[in-house]
Amino acid sequence: MTGRSQVDVANFYLVFDAILAGRDLRQTVFALDNRIPTELQYQLLLQLEEVLRSFCVFALQNGMGLPACEEDLQRIDRQLKEYTGLLPKVLPAETWALCQDKRDQLLARGLPEAAALKFAALDRLADFLPLICMAQVSGENLEDLARIMVLIEAKLDVTAILQLLEQVPVRDRWDRRAKESLLSSLHSVTVRIVQQAAAEDALKPQHFFAKRRPELRAFEGLWQSLQSETPRNFHPFTVLLRTLESFLLAK
């Protein structure tokens, strides 16, 4: 789907797995065999794989090159630590509180503190790779870009959209492919909106929507309509995706 070779896919996976210390996280989960529910072990491992998948999809779709040397890997590792450290500052208080609650629950289950914190924050790391690439190209501060991402996701109710999308039944492999494509496209268009908002006015990103009131009204109307029913397939989300893309076409 990306036009890149299977070797590239495997190499990106291994690189990102090393950056996230995936091997150590898996060993931590495996060490808790018969001490925590199998369902929880599966959820934690799947959570790690989902973040790795999102990193690989972004890298492959955007023509990223593999880190050329150890210094490149160390730089990305430092950026990841910086980004993780920013989360308590840039996330809404209630969102960070949920991360802390999850960390505490995992600690109570017997996970070491470092692993519990990383698993608690994993869902928020999907934006890391797009943001550091954006920072490198634009010269904008990583913290400012992270704040813009939080603002955009809140304005577009991205979390609620993803939660509703998860309720759609997946009946066969075509549904599964449609879901994966939608998830990738929704993340991609959100990243592009963040990039555009930062380019127009990184200090006042809310102006992005102020200049696009017709597009915002169209999106909000469609989203309210979608929330009033239980979607039986992914078609409504495809239409919603088109309205999100219209923000990028507006002048």
Q: What is the DSSP string of 106-142?
A: HHHHT--HHHHHHHHHGGGGGGHHHHHHHHHHH---H
Return the H-helix or E-strand segment holding 99: helix 93-109
Sign of the torsion formed by the C-alpha atoms of 20, 22, 23 and 29? positive
Q: Does 217 score more than 90 pLDDT?
A: yes
User: Whole-angstrom Cα distance, residue 149 to residue 202?
Assistant: 11
Q: Does 215 score more than 90 pLDDT?
A: yes
- Look up residue 217 and give its two tokens: 């009204």
**Which residues touch 187 (CB under 8 Å, ≥6 apart)?**
54, 58, 126
Q: Does 1 score more than 70 pLDDT?
A: no
User: Whole-angstrom Cα distance, residue 227 to residue 231?
Assistant: 9
The model's confidence at residue 120, banded by pLDDT at 50, 70 and 90, is very high
The model's confidence at residue 100, banded by pLDDT at 50, 70 and 90, is very high
pLDDT in tens, 48-67: 999 998 888 888 888 777 77
Of 161 and 230, the structure prediction assigns the larger pLDDT to: 161
The model's confidence at residue 4, banded by pLDDT at 50, 70 and 90, is low
Q: Does 199 score more than 60 pLDDT?
A: yes
The model's confidence at residue 22, banded by pLDDT at 50, 70 and 90, is very high
Identify the pLDDT of residue 5. Answer: 75
Is residue 120 within 8 Å of residue 100, measured between CB atoms? Answer: yes
For tokens 């991205």, what's the residue? 158
The model's confidence at residue 155, banded by pLDDT at 50, 70 and 90, is very high
The model's confidence at residue 251, banded by pLDDT at 50, 70 and 90, is low
Is residue 193 within 8 Å of residue 208, measured between CB atoms? Answer: yes
Q: Does 152 score more than 90 pLDDT?
A: yes
Domain residue ranges in the chain: 1-122, 140-251
Identify the pLDDT of residue 236. Answer: 93
| Average pLDDT over every residue of 168-175 | 92
Is residue 128 within 8 Å of residue 53, measured between CB atoms? Answer: no
Identify the pLDDT of residue 2. Answer: 54
pTM of the shown model:
0.84
Identify the pLDDT of residue 184. Answer: 86
| Average pLDDT over every residue of 213-232 | 93
pLDDT in tens, 65-99: 777 778 888 888 888 889 999 999 999 899 999 99
User: Whole-angstrom Cα distance, residue 132 to residue 140?
Assistant: 10
Q: Does 3 score more than 90 pLDDT?
A: no
What are residue 91's phi and psi, to 5 degrees? -75, 150
